[in-house]
């Protein structure tokens, strides 16, 4: 099984740096007071394509040989990875084919189209998505770029934590959302390599708590019918990301949809920024004091900002 080393993340960083944004780190005395901790927000909502997914996608696309790239890339995703991969492929001038469920939101379809991705619709279930993607790979020779269970993706996602620790040295902890675990695994490897004493934490939606469950059980265990307002975090933790989490992640807290919405509103009202539900999950856990960071300096990754305004009202 492919291991992820810090040197992969460093190489990814060098590779993607000209193409992604070095997102800012924001702070707020008022939010610190609320959480009883000193929070440094890494604003990946300002990242290209509106989420950290741009990092992994462009790393994967730029890692292809010219021969591989010529056959294009493919993925199945209804969310931020689809848009990010379309954008990254467009930058390299190659084709991206994205399998999306017929039921995907118009906003997300429009976003993939804006970045030049070619969409193939399928029935809205996991099996149909995987089969459609496999067929495209078979027919076109496109490289399959999985949303999280891919070493190139994990290495790319880890670059956000590298920047955060460059900008705010000596953090006591770093917290990020967990869905399939690409961001969490990448962040964990980066943070522990740069600062072995750092604690790696995560927030997970209560209705899709397969990562918490799996860590407790010691084996990957899906939950049935995962459901949450954090629509980017419904994926099942991967067999590449899970061992990294077992080794490096100290704590995962689950949060309710209500607390995710409350966190989004606080970020909007105080920091004046748009963060999508999935992007606010780690902050929700910190702000509700469900992670042990009292009095500590904690980096919180706000992973994306692609939210429909209407959804902000919960």
- Cβ neighbours of 269 (radius 10 Å): 9
For the bound state, the minimum distance from the C-beta of residue 89 to a copy of itself, rounded and expressed in Å, comes to 17
Phi/psi at 77 (5° precision): -175, 140
Binding residues for a copy of itself, per CB under 8 A? 24, 45-46, 50, 265, 268-269, 271-275, 305, 309-310, 312-313
Nearer to a copy of itself, 127 or 272 (CB): 272
Nearer to a copy of itself, 24 or 222 (CB): 24
For the bound state, the minimum distance from the C-beta of residue 28 to a copy of itself, rounded and expressed in Å, comes to 10
Nearer to a copy of itself, 184 or 274 (CB): 274
Phi/psi at 51 (5° precision): -160, 165
Nearer to a copy of itself, 26 or 253 (CB): 26
Nearer to a copy of itself, 49 or 149 (CB): 49
Looking up tokens 């291991």 gives: 3
Residues acting as catalytic residues: 53, 303
Residue 256, classed as helix, strand or coil, is: coil
Nearer to a copy of itself, 107 or 219 (CB): 107
For the bound state, the minimum distance from the C-beta of residue 261 to a copy of itself, rounded and expressed in Å, comes to 10
- Which residues, 6+ apart, have CB-to-CB distance to 65 below 8 Å? none
DSSP 180-216: SSHHHHHHHHHHHHH-TT-EEEEEEEGGG-HHHHHHH
- CA–CA gap between residue 202 and residue 105 (Å, rounded): 27
Looking up tokens 């084709």 gives: 95
For the bound state, the minimum distance from the C-beta of residue 307 to a copy of itself, rounded and expressed in Å, comes to 9
For the bound state, the minimum distance from the C-beta of residue 313 to a copy of itself, rounded and expressed in Å, comes to 7
- Which residues, 6+ apart, have CB-to-CB distance to 191 below 8 Å? 161, 165, 171, 174, 198, 200, 248
Q: What angle do CA 256, 302, 38 make, to 5 degrees?
A: 90
For the bound state, the minimum distance from the C-beta of residue 134 to a copy of itself, rounded and expressed in Å, comes to 34
- Which residues, 6+ apart, have CB-to-CB distance to 135 below 8 Å? none
Pull the structure tokens for residue 103. 């039921």
- CA–CA gap between residue 47 and residue 69 (Å, rounded): 24
């Amino acid at each position: 099984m492919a291991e992820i080393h810090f040197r992969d993340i460093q190489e990814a960083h060098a590779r993607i740096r000209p193409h992604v944004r070095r997102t800012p780190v924001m702070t707020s005395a008022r939010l610190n007071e609320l959480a009883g901790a000193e929070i440094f927000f890494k604003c990946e909502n300002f990242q290209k394509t509106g989420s950290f997914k741009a990092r992994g996608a462009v790393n994967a696309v730029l890692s292809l040989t010219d021969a591989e790239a010529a056959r294009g890339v493919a993925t199945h995703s209804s969310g931020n990875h689809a848009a990010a991969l379309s954008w990254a492929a467009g930058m390299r001038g190659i084709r991206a084919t994205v399998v999306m469920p017929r039921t995907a939101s118009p906003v997300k379809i429009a976003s993939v189209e804006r970045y030049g991705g070619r969409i193939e619709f399928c029935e809205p279930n996991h099996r149909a998505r995987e089969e459609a993607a496999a067929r495209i790979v078979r027919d076109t020779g496109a490289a399959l770029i999985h949303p999280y269970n891919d070493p190139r993706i994990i290495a790319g996602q880890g670059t956000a934590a590298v920047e955060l620790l460059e900008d705010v040295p000596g953090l006591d902890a770093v917290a990020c959302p967990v869905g399939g675990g690409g961001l969490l695994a990448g962040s964990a490897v980066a943070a522990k390599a740069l600062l072995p004493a750092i604690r790696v934490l995560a927030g997970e939606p209560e209705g899709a708590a397969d990562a918490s469950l799996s860590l407790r059980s010691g084996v990957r265990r899906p939950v049935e019918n995962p459901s949450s307002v954090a629509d980017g975090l419904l994926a099942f933790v991967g067999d590449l990301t899970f061992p990294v989490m077992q080794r490096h992640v100290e704590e995962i807290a689950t949060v309710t949809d209500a607390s995710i919405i409350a966190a989004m509103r606080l970020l909007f009202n105080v920091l004046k920024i748009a963060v999508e539900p999935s992007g606010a999950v780690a902050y929700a856990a910190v702000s509700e004091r469900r992670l042990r960071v009292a009095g500590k300096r904690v980096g919180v990754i706000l992973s994306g900002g692609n939210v429909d305004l209407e959804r902000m009202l919960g």
